[in-house]
Homo-oligomer: A and B are copies of this chain.
Amino acid sequence: MMERKKFSQFKNKALENPEVREEYEKLQQKYELKTKLISLRKMNGLTQEELAKKLHTQKSNISRLENVNSKISPRLSTIEEYAKAMGYNLEINFIPQN
């Protein structure tokens, strides 16, 4: 708990730096999408292999897509198909910064 508080304080301080903040938000966003993809799949009780089959591709490709560390920026259509395979549509919004 003490650790958590300390870190939290440090984080807030660091985020006052615009460059750090920007970098952080960029990561947050990437993390968000990948995270959403993964939880969407798990919510539907699918393994990577099962989803891969639905999409006529390989489990290794699903893994790559879901990998938070990969530098790949997927095509919109790829995300769309992933979502469709589980019964979802994509919605894209533009949010003003600050």
Interface residues of A (CB under 8 A from B): 25, 29, 32-33, 36, 40, 73-80, 83-84, 87-97
Q: Out of B32, B73, B83, B94, which one reaches A75, CB within 8 Å?
A: B73
Of chain B, the residue at the smallest CB distance from A89 is B95
- Copies assembled: 2
B91 touches A97 (CB 8 A): no
For A33, the closest partner residue in chain B by CB is B92
B92 adjacent to A97 (CB under 8 Å): no
CB distance from A96 to the nearest CB of B (A): 6
Query: 10 new A-B pairs (CB below 8 Å) besides A76-B76, A91-B93?
Result: A32-B92, A33-B76, A73-B80, A75-B75, A76-B79, A87-B96, A87-B97, A88-B96, A89-B95, A90-B95
Residues A92 and B75 in contact, CB atoms below 8 Å apart: no
Contact present for A93 and B96 (CB under 8 Å) = no
